[in-house]
Structure 1
Amino acid sequence: MSRVLSMAYLTACDATPQEAVRIAARLGYAHVGLRLLPNAPGAPQQHLIDHPEALRETVALLRDTGVGVFDLEIIRINEGFEPLDYRPLLDAGAALGARAVLVAGDDTNATRLADGYARLCELMKPYGMTADLEFMPWTAVPHARAALSVIEGAGMPSNAGILVDALHFDRSATTLEDIRALPRQLLHYAQICDAPGRARQGRDFTVEEMIHTARCARLQPGEGDIDLAGLFAALPSDLPVSVEVVHLDRMRAMDPAEWARQCLAASRRFVA
């Protein structure tokens, strides 16, 4: 059976939700990821929350094309986190049939972070979506072991999850042994991309460089130095994969569907 592949928001970040669904359907992606809340104040997002007509149109397109919504972005757990503030995102996700919500951990107080995550998972249970905590080296959840610690501190909620992004695996203090040690029930999907490694750079990456690459300059699988073969061998063979490849300079020079097609073809060489 072929692996389920989803087109992440960043792979077609200029597309509306409706355009993203059409691109995914044309190219053979089974799902899309949508960013309905920005990852930083004033950052780009797709507009479905408080846009009922656009939401209805997107739901109709999903039904007509057979494409699903895999994940929604993004919930950030910070010092003043209040899960109820995210009900509009969860309500939109329920209408779209989304399976997961991407969660980032920014609260440096470990106890409060775990409590906030536990409260979020409790709120999300009736919605049928998982809360997938993504470790990122510049956040309060910098590696896979930290993500597991947060979830254990939250009491291992039934809808908890850990999101493994190939870029963050490579640039964080995460080993293949750490990946293999993650409980299977916490793994709902992973993200694939590529990037230059430390050896090519000649030094460690700064936080600013890591953030820039993550948001603006990822490479297609096979173009960089990430051990994608090792990573996806360590992850379950049936794990759905989100193709998350954004390179703003290169994307400006081609049609969005062509970029998404190239990224899908490159990804299939590692996760067919």
Structure 2
Amino acid sequence: MANQFSLAHLTVLDSPPPEMVYLAARAGYDFVSLRPIYMGLPGEPNYELAKNKKMMHETKQALADTGLKLLDIELARIYDGVDPNHYLPAMEVAAELGGRHILSSIWTDDRNYAIERFAEICDLAKPFGLTVELEFVPIASVNNLAGTLDILHTANRENAGLMIDIHHFHRSRDRVEDLDSVPREWFRYLHLCDAPAVIPDSMEEMTRVLREERSYVGEGGIDIASIINRIPEIPYSIELPNLKRSRELGNEEFARRCLQSAKEYLNNYSHTS
């Protein structure tokens, strides 16, 4: 089966969803991964499609014109005081656009609270036919594989799953062997990128690299093949923000090179799962 690729919004975050869909199609992607949940981060554009009816219509038209599919939306963060109902409009958007998954991560140190809110998000997503993929992030509260599996096992929702980001997996110093114990059905897609092998000492540098200076697949020092060969064949969402390169090349050419490097790398490493 040929690998399938999605363009993650963080890779070309200053491209609004309709424009992003068209450039992803021209660059050769199969899917897009959109960010219609506004998080209010510094410099982050607001693409709340639930509130911006014109942009929603244009995004729907772009998907119809190109034949691209929506793989997932992000990010349903779990933090102290969050109301999971806040994510309902974005779930409706995902369902209307034919999306499959919603990405979540945990930013509270209260384990019981995190489990309850995560389970609630899963329950809200279920009627829309959406699965909820839990991602661990090195700068978040749940920042490694063990913590994520603890939440997933305890919440025990059939539409819950695990989303591995190659950068985050490496930075968490997790062992690839531990992926063998994860139920196969929990793997639905992953975030593909690369980064230097040396793990930053400071949280500031870790954050900077993950948000704005990731590397083309095969260019950094992460043993990507060792990770992807432990999990089933699933779509690869290329989340590879690199502000310098995207500004120099333009978003479309940058997205094209992200995809080319990923395909070249994967063609050289046969999948053994």
| Global fold match (TM > 0.5) | yes
Q: 1:205, CA displacement in angstroms?
A: 2.6
Corresponding residue to 2:245 among 247, 250, 253? 250
Question: What is the letter of the counterpart of residue 262 of structure 2?
Answer: S
Paired position in structure 1 for 2:121: 120
Paired position in structure 2 for 1:32: 32
Question: What is the letter of the counterpart of residue 108 of structure 1?
Answer: D
Question: What is the letter of the counterpart of residue 248 of structure 1?
Answer: L
Q: 1:53, CA displacement in angstroms?
A: 2.0
The 3 A distance-change label for structure 1 pair 47 and 38 is closer
CA contact (8 A) 1:111 1:153 kept: no
CA contact (8 A) 1:194 1:218 kept: yes
Paired position in structure 1 for 2:171: 171
Paired position in structure 1 for 2:95: 94
CA contact (8 A) 1:32 1:69 kept: yes
The aligned runs of 1:53-72 (5 Å cut-off) are: 53-72=54-73
Q: 1:271, CA displacement in angstroms?
A: 3.3
Q: Deviations over 1:49-97 (max 9, x none)?
A: 2111221121122112110111111111112121111111111111111
Question: What is the letter of the counterpart of residue 187 of structure 1?
Answer: F
The 3 A distance-change label for structure 1 pair 40 and 52 is closer
CA contact (8 A) 1:102 1:133 kept: yes
Rounded to whole Å, the distance in 2 between the matches of 1:226 and 1:85 is 36
Q: Does 33-42 or 98-107 show the bigger shift?
A: 33-42
Rounded to whole Å, the distance in 2 between the matches of 1:41 and 1:23 is 24
Q: Does 56-65 or 117-126 show the bigger shift?
A: 56-65
CA contact (8 A) 1:192 1:245 kept: yes
The aligned runs of 1:73-84 (5 Å cut-off) are: 73-84=74-85
Q: Describe the SS at the equivalent of 2:14.
A: coil
1:210 aligns with 2:206: yes
TM-score, length-normalised on structure 2? Answer: 0.93
Rounded to whole Å, the distance in 2 between the matches of 1:171 and 1:224 is 13
Q: 1:170, CA displacement in angstroms?
A: 0.5
CA RMSD across the alignment: 1.4
Question: What is the letter of the counterpart of residue 84 of structure 2?
Answer: P
Question: What is the letter of the counterpart of residue 229 of structure 1?
Answer: A
CA contact (8 A) 1:232 1:271 kept: no
